[in-house]
Chains A and B, each alone.
Chain A
Amino acid sequence: MSSVLLDARAIAKHFGGVKALHDVSLSINQGEIYGLIGPNGAGKTTFFNVLTGLYHPDGGELIFAGEKLPASAPHKVAKRGIARTFQNIRLFANMSAMENVMVGCHVRTHAGVFGAVVHDRRTTAEEVAIRRRAEELLHYVNIADRADDLARHLSYGDQRRLEIARALATDPKLLALDEPAAGMNGTETEALRELIEGIRKDGITVLLIEHDVKLVMGLCDRVAVLDYGEKICEDVPAVVQKDPKVIEAYLGGSLA
């Protein structure tokens, strides 16, 4: 029916004695919203870090859009079409919201020193396009009115949105969100749900780590559950919710 966009095969990652990921395999289909849940310390963020090239895996491989992803090369991963946000927001704090998104455009643009200094036709056109795209994206995530404010002056919820806008600026095929609803109130979470649904409608596949079980279950097409670095379940939300292993993991560990 649908084609596989990301195929993670037996990904392993340890830190000293801790097996943060133990042969985790999962495959994400083109166009779906895929949830990754599990108790604290289960290895979700570690999976993101391996996926986006920030950590070198100790085993396994990642096939993205039919080709192997390079390990330990975050900028190449971004170029291939995977963008992410961070659990602990990582914005360019002393740049404006607009500039943050413009940095996101870096990977799809080309101007070098010569173009920057001389302002040849191509560079000027590119710069105009970057500006327009950044404005568009700020509108899209609904923070256009904060365009000129420094990222660190935005509210928490707006920072999360800005991070999403910056990620979208890289023109990703897969958008990986690490606990985007953390610290948001009910209305903000609802707006976030709409935003994520909109992103999927625009043809971008979403990989979502989230603690808010209601949000995950309502939003995701499929969900995988990690516990102590192992995938214990992968299915549609209705089935995952009833899986005894999942219930045990959540009851046994710190309840999310």
Chain B
Amino acid sequence: MMGFLASFEALRHDKRAAIAAIAATVAMGIVLAVFPFIVGSALGNSWLRIVDFAMLYIMLALGLNIVVGFAGLLDMGYIAFYAVGAYLYALLASPHFGLHLPVWLIIPAGAVLAGIFGALLGAPTLRLRGDYLAIVTLGFGEIVRIFLNNLNAPVNITNGPQGISGIDPIHLGGITLAKPISVLGFTIPSLHAYYYLFLVLALGIVFVTIRLENSRIGRAWVAIREDEIAAKSCGINTRNIKLLAFTMGASFGGVAGGLFAGFQGFVSPESFNLMESVMVLCMVVLGGMGNIPGVILGGILLTVLPEVFRHGAGPVQMALFGKILLDPEALRMLLFGLALVVVMLYRPAGLWPSTTRRREFKGESTDVLKEGE
């Protein structure tokens, strides 16, 4: 996608560069197209599932990046919007209420509803920044989860801690992605089909994010992050622009949530706990806040690495010591934590920070006028 955009820009300047960019785009397209088949045959379906999840996390990370990376608003409850999208899908397309609305309706509705929740979170927190904002948003995320847990009485809406199961798989125009699809004699297995759908939507979100970043709105977000007082004095209506960041970011989460519900077939409040919010935040921070390729990288690494540790920890110990000394599950989190600490120590701006903005971490907040300033 970025290759595609680059090729577009390049066309105006230089023919050879344009051809190179187009070639790169085509190559990238082929790799992305055959990727699920390579993973599926080399590593098996469980890894393909992980790849599918990586797509969802990329969407989440890009959404949170708008709020945290661009606008500089520390949101610790982002997973709530994923939950909103997921539960909307679950309620509107499952035996729970006996509703089976079409996907093309539910996913956009999930984006809109999550966006509204984003504005609801944003409105009361507009004056907060940094740690204060983090605490309030954290509380918001937990409130949403607790509501989902308890909205089963007196009227059963969410089915409480048991969650909602039997959710309709994603189906488009009579084709369900839950079963292998045959196209022109080819058979596309279910996990592969989900991969393609998620890929297309993730690319769509990347496209929207890139366009926003390089726009009047994107510049206003970054200006607020850099110096809120100066941004106001430049005529930016910081209230509206911040609300817009919350809304846009949340709507991406809503889309990802709907896809998650259809893919998984089951949702429960436990999928949307604080740890998930922290995980998505880590993707943004670790990858390179505000830099789109970095955030995508963060999303992939933080989805795949814990699984690598989980699957690798047992066999490696067997090979080294002849027995399993540490529980792979515990080791997984240990290694993961260690990796985070190392990255933050040695690359505080993230693994892949933007080349022009290797943003320094300023502890100082910029929204208060100091005496005589």
Give B350 Cβ to nearest chain A Cβ, in Å. Answer: 13
A-B contact pairs, 15 of them (CB 8 A): A46-B372, A53-B232, A74-B229, A79-B235, A83-B233, A87-B373, A88-B373, A91-B227, A94-B222, A96-B356, A103-B223, A103-B231, A104-B234, A110-B216, A170-B234
Chain B: CB-nearest residue to A103: B223
- State whether A116 and B211 are in contact (beta carbons under 8 Å apart), knowing that A87-B373, A111-B217 are contacts in the complex: yes
| A interface residue numbers (CB < 8 A to B) | 15, 41, 45-46, 49, 52-55, 74-75, 77-79, 83-84, 86-88, 90-96, 99, 102-113, 115-117, 119, 123, 126-127, 130, 148, 150, 166, 169-170
Are A75 and B236 touching (Cβ within 8 A)?
Answer: yes
- State whether A106 and B219 are in contact (beta carbons under 8 Å apart), knowing that A95-B226, A117-B208 are contacts in the complex: yes
Taking the complex as formed, is B248 at the interface, i.e. its CB lies under 8 A from any CB of chain A? yes
Are A78 and B233 touching (Cβ within 8 A)?
Answer: yes
Are B223 and A95 touching (Cβ within 8 A)?
Answer: yes
Are B234 and A166 touching (Cβ within 8 A)?
Answer: yes
Give B233 Cβ to nearest chain A Cβ, in Å. Answer: 5
Most buried by A among B357, B359, B370: B357
A112 to B218, CA, bound (A): 10
Are B220 and A92 touching (Cβ within 8 A)?
Answer: no
Cβ contacts under 8 Å, A75 to chain B: 232, 235-238
Cβ contacts under 8 Å, B222 to chain A: 92, 94-95, 99
Are A54 and B232 touching (Cβ within 8 A)?
Answer: yes
- State whether A150 and B233 are in contact (beta carbons under 8 Å apart), knowing that A106-B219, A119-B211 are contacts in the complex: no
A102 to B372, CA, bound (A): 28
A233 to B54, CA, bound (A): 69
Taking the complex as formed, is B24 at the interface, i.e. its CB lies under 8 A from any CB of chain A? no
- State whether A127 and B234 are in contact (beta carbons under 8 Å apart), knowing that A87-B373, A88-B373 are contacts in the complex: no
Are B244 and A93 touching (Cβ within 8 A)?
Answer: no
| B interface residue numbers (CB < 8 A to A) | 207-208, 211-212, 215-220, 222-223, 226-227, 229-238, 244, 248, 356-357, 359-360, 366, 369-373
Cβ contacts under 8 Å, B219 to chain A: 95, 99, 102-103, 106
Chain B: CB-nearest residue to A163: B230
A49 to B372, CA, bound (A): 9
Are B372 and A41 touching (Cβ within 8 A)?
Answer: yes
Are B369 and A107 touching (Cβ within 8 A)?
Answer: no
- State whether A93 and B237 are in contact (beta carbons under 8 Å apart), knowing that A54-B232, A111-B215 are contacts in the complex: no
Most buried by B among A87, A110, A116, A148: A116
Which of B217, B226, B232 contacts A92 (CB under 8 A)?
Answer: B226
Cβ contacts under 8 Å, B238 to chain A: 75
Which of B207, B234, B244 contacts A107 (CB under 8 A)?
Answer: B234
Give B373 Cβ to nearest chain A Cβ, in Å. Answer: 5
A84 to B218, CA, bound (A): 23
Are A103 and B208 touching (Cβ within 8 A)?
Answer: no
Which of A45, A96, A111 contacts B373 (CB under 8 A)?
Answer: A45
Cβ contacts under 8 Å, A84 to chain B: 233
Cβ contacts under 8 Å, A96 to chain B: 356
Cβ contacts under 8 Å, B248 to chain A: 113
Give A83 Cβ to nearest chain B Cβ, in Å. Answer: 8
Cβ contacts under 8 Å, A104 to chain B: 234-235
Give B201 Cβ to nearest chain A Cβ, in Å. Answer: 15
Are B234 and A103 touching (Cβ within 8 A)?
Answer: yes
Are A112 and B217 touching (Cβ within 8 A)?
Answer: yes
